[in-house]
């Protein structure tokens, strides 16, 4: 169980990182599968059957919404049928228009169901669709599922009666139109399949919304049983051409896959259920809280080992820095306190205050005021008065 939870968490993480590439890739795969199925069943227009056109349209649809793939698929079908019979193409075009308007009005976000249902019906395995969309969609998801079933049986009718439809002419329009409508609407297999898949989707949706333990698991199981019972009733009552063995195997496989999908979508621990009650000014609230099963992904610790350590076969004891320093400097010499004091006295010269004063007096020359005045008089040139000035004085 833990391994499955770890795988789920890794898958969610991978999708969260690369969803920008995963979603267009899924759309491309869905588009190219739908166009290939259409071309193989009613490939009357040879130009549309070209792999280049299919690949180009699929690449364009990869960056468009899913409803664009639905629209292009309908266009492909109508063009192929136009090459076969214009009356048949007109009837199918009118039918598809009504179906698509109904689908776009009630469940525009479930275009995936419209595309997947005919593809799985071609493979004989349509019972998985209502179980999955009953869990993930709404109660109106039954409408696109029913539309997908009608599209499949319409294509199957045209494929089975292509020789008759090709010989139709415009003169017998009313008769030919009635035969096409009766051939599609009067198909008992289609009606039973629509009821089985649509009702199963409704049952799964209603039960998985209940506040009971294991409601999702119960919903999937009852949905598969609903499909099986209705299909068996149709086989017995209308004598449908459906294999009973294939029906049992398909329902059982659909149940297993739906439970697996349910585990990835929602897995809870009912043993730790809590009931909360609180109120505000207007209401009382009764809340049932069921914790989800989740595990944390263990972090990977990478230990780097250098090449030198990998090449060593014999472990070498590592020495401390102090031991390495002792080996370089040799054994320490112990000294007595007296010798230590003598070395300090010899290294540091202590001078008395008198000696220090004598050194300062010898370094700095002190000048008296008399000597300073003598230096100024010797540096200044005294000028004698001129004879004219002396005569005036006399």
Structural contact between residues 92 and 83, judged by C-beta atoms closer than 8 angstroms: no
280 part of a folded domain = no
The answer to which of 36-45, 75-84, 182-191, 374-383 has the lowest mean pLDDT is 374-383
The predicted pLDDT at position 2 comes to: 75
pLDDT band at 389 (very low <50, low <70, confident <90, very high): very low
Instruction: From 202, 84, 51, select the one nearest 154 (Cα to Cα).
Output: 84
pTM higher than 0.95: no
pLDDT at 392 (0 to 100): 44
pLDDT above 50 (res 391): no
pLDDT of residue 194: 93
* Position 289 in a domain: no
Q: CA-to-CA distance for 382 and 254, rounded, in angstroms?
A: 132
Inside any domain, residue 385: no
Q: How far apart are CA 390 and CA 384, in angstroms?
A: 10
Counting the structural domains of the chain, the total is 1
Residue 170 buriedness (CB in 10 A; 0-12 / 13-18 / 19+): exposed
- Predicted confidence (pLDDT) per residue in 248-299, tens digit: 999 999 999 999 988 888 888 888 888 889 899 889 998 888 888 777 666 6
Q: What is the mean pLDDT of residues 334-357?
A: 50
The pLDDT of residue 326 is above 60: no
* pLDDT tens-digit map of 11-38: 888 888 998 999 999 999 999 999 999 9
Residue 379 lies in a domain: no
Domain that holds residue 54: 2-268
Residue 239 confidence (pLDDT): 81
Position 332 in a domain: no
Determine, yes or no, domain membership for 64.
yes
Q: Is residue 288 part of a domain?
A: no
> Is 317 contained in some domain?
no
Segment 62-121, tens digit of pLDDT? 999 999 999 999 999 999 988 888 888 888 899 899 988 888 888 888 889 999 999 999
Instruction: Specify the pLDDT at position 34.
Output: 93
Instruction: Provide the pLDDT for residue 167.
Output: 57
Write out pLDDT tens, residues 128-142: 999 999 999 899 999
CA-derived radius of gyration, the chain: 49
Supply the pLDDT for residue 266: 81
pLDDT, residue 331, reads: 53
CA angle 336, 342, 348 (to 5 degrees): 135
More confident residue, 93 or 5: 93
| Residue range 322-331: mean pLDDT, rounded | 57
Mean pLDDT rounded to a whole number for the chain? 78
What's the pLDDT at 200? 95
Per residue in 232-241, pLDDT (tens digit) is 999 988 888 7
Contact predicate 77/96, CB 8 Å: yes
């Amino acid at each position: 169980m833990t391994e499955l939870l770890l795988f789920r968490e890794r898958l969610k993480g991978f999708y969260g990182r690369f969803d920008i590439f995963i979603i267009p890739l899924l759309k491309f795969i869905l588009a190219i599968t739908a166009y290939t199925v259409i071309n193989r069943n009613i490939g009357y227009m040879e130009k549309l059957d070209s792999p280049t056109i299919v690949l180009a349209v699929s690449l364009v649809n990869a960056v468009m919404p899913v409803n664009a793939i639905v629209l292009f698929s309908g266009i492909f079908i109508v063009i192929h049928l136009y090459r076969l019979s214009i009356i048949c193409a007109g009837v199918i075009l009118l039918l598809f228009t009504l179906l698509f308007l109904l689908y776009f009005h009630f469940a525009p976000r479930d275009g995936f169901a419209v595309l997947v249902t005919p593809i799985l019906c071609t493979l004989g395995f349509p019972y998985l669709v209502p179980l999955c969309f009953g869990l993930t969609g709404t109660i109106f998801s039954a409408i696109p599922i029913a539309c997908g079933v009608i599209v499949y049986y319409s294509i199957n009718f045209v494929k089975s009666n292509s020789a008759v439809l090709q010989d139709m002419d415009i003169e017998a329009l009313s008769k030919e139109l009635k035969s096409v409508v009766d051939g599609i609407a009067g198909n008992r297999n289609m009606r039973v399949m629509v009821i089985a898949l649509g009702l199963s989707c409704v049952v799964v949706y209603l039960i998985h919304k209940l506040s009971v333990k294991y409601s999702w698991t119960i919903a999937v199981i009852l949905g598969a049983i609903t499909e099986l019972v209705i299909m068996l009733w149709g086989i017995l009552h209308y004598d449908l051409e459906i294999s009973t063995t294939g029906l049992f195997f398909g329902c059982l496989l659909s149940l297993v896959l739906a439970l697996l999908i349910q585990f990835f979508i929602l897995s809870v621990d009912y043993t730790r259920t809590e009931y909360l009650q609180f109120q505000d000014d207007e209401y009382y609230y009764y809340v049932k809280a069921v914790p989800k099963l989740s595990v944390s992904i263990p972090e990977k610790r990478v230990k780097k080992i250098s090449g030198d350590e990998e090449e060593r076969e014999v472990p070498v004891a590592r020495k401390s820095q102090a031991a390495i320093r002792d080996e370089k400097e040799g054994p320490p010499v112990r000294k007595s306190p007296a010798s230590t004091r003598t070395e300090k006295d010899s290294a540091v010269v202590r001078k008395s205050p008198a000696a220090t004063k004598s050194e300062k007096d010898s370094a700095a020359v002190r000048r008296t005021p008399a000597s300073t005045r003598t230096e100024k008089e010797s540096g200044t040139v005294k000028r004698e008065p001129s004879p004219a000035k002396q005569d005036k004085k006399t």
